[in-house]
Amino acid sequence: MARTTPFALSALAAAAVLIGGPAAAAAADDGDDRPAAAGAALRAPHPIFFGTFVTVPPNQNLTASVSCPAGQVPTGGGGTTSAFRIFFTDSFASGNTWSIRGTNTNTVNESIRAFVVCTAL
């Protein structure tokens, strides 16, 4: 067990260098579990906008979409479902809009709703 601990810490430091650079590696390896300094700020706000629910009848595949407000563009997105028996078949940006497609494999109506993460141009 003693041999795995140094290896795990080395792997963590290597992953931090690959993901966030040397400064992140130093932060990951210092053993300090305190939150970031109070002065640390986000680089830019990324609000999330939700579309309306779309009812998907049994054995159907429908689309739900939501757009970013004027002056903003999508940087990501996805969707939510009302049940376990409805599955996303697509999730993508097109222009200023994020769309999802869901297939309802249940025997009753279910719903899907798209969301989009936006940022200023």
Tell me the pLDDT band of 11, cut-offs 50, 70 and 90: very low
Over the stretch 24-34, which tens digit does the pLDDT of each residue have?
444 444 455 55
β-sheet with 86-94: strand ranges across: 61-67, 97-104, 86-94
Can you read off the two tokens belonging to residue 44? 């830019």
> How much of the chain exceeds pLDDT 90, in percent?
60
Beta bridge partners of 73: 119
Can you read off the two tokens belonging to residue 112? 């899907």
d(CA 101, CA 61) in angstroms, rounded, equals 7
18 has a pLDDT exceeding 90: no
Tell me the pLDDT band of 121, cut-offs 50, 70 and 90: confident
Over the stretch 21-76, which tens digit does the pLDDT of each residue have?
444 444 444 455 555 555 555 566 789 999 999 999 999 999 999 999 999 999 99
